[in-house]
C-alpha cells in the first residue's frame, strides 16, 4: 500500500510539472552523474579509452541511460526517428577531445545546452524512474 501512495504522489507531482510550471534546466551533474564525478576527480586512461571508442558508455551514452538509443540502437535508419544526430556529433567531439587530451569543460557546457533544448523530458523521465526505483528499494 505504501508503494502505491508513493507512486501516486510521484504521478501527481509529474502532472503539476506538466500543467504549465516551467522546470529549470538540468545540470551536468543531473544529466550525467557518473561522468560528472569522473571529470571532477580526473579521467584515467580507461575512461579516456571509453570516451574515444564507446558511444554507449561515454558521456552522451550516460545521458541516454546507457541504451545506445542516441545512435538509433546502432541502426542508422532509426537515428532520425528515435535517436539524435546532434548527440552523435557531441559524442564524436568528446571522442576527439579525449583522444587529444583536451579539457572537456566548454564541450560539456555545450552538450548540456543541447540536452536541455532537445531532450530535457527524456532526462526528467530517467531521473523519475531512478528516484522511483530508489524509493521502492528503500521500502523493500
Question: What total number of domains does the chain contain?
Answer: 1
The answer to whether residue 14 is domain-embedded is no
Which of 44-53, 54-63, 80-89, 123-132 comes out lowest in average pLDDT? 123-132
The answer to whether residue 12 is domain-embedded is no
The answer to whether residue 105 is domain-embedded is yes
pLDDT of residue 21: 55
User: What would the pLDDT profile of 9-28 be if each residue is shown by its tens digit?
Assistant: 344 444 444 444 578 999 99
pLDDT of residue 72: 82
C-alpha cell at 34: 557518473
The answer to whether residue 22 is domain-embedded is no
109 compared with 121, residue with greater pLDDT: 109
Name the residue range of residue 49's domain: 27-139
User: What would the pLDDT profile of 118-135 be if each residue is shown by its tens digit?
Assistant: 998 876 655 555 444 434
The answer to whether residue 95 is domain-embedded is yes
Q: What percent of the chain has pLDDT over 70?
A: 72
The answer to whether residue 42 is domain-embedded is yes
Amino acid at each position: 500500500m505504501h508503494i502505491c501512495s508513493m507512486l501516486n504522489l510521484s504521478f501527481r507531482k509529474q502532472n503539476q510539472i506538466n500543467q504549465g510550471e516551467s522546470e529549470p534546466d538540468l545540470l551536468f551533474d543531473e544529466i550525467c552523474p557518473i561522468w560528472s564525478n569522473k571529470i571532477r576527480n580526473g579521467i584515467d586512461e580507461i575512461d579516456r579509452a571509453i570516451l574515444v571508442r564507446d558511444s554507449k558508455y561515454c558521456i552522451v551514452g550516460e545521458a541516454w541511460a546507457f541504451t545506445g538509443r542516441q545512435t538509433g540502437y546502432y541502426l542508422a535508419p532509426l537515428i532520425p526517428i528515435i535517436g539524435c544526430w546532434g548527440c552523435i556529433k557531441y559524442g564524436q567531439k568528446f571522442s576527439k577531445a579525449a583522444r587529444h587530451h583536451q579539457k572537456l569543460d566548454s564541450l560539456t557546457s555545450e552538450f548540456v545546452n543541447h540536452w536541455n533544448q532537445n531532450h530535457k523530458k527524456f532526462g526528467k523521465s530517467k531521473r523519475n524512474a531512478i528516484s522511483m526505483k530508489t524509493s521502492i528499494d528503500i521500502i523493500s
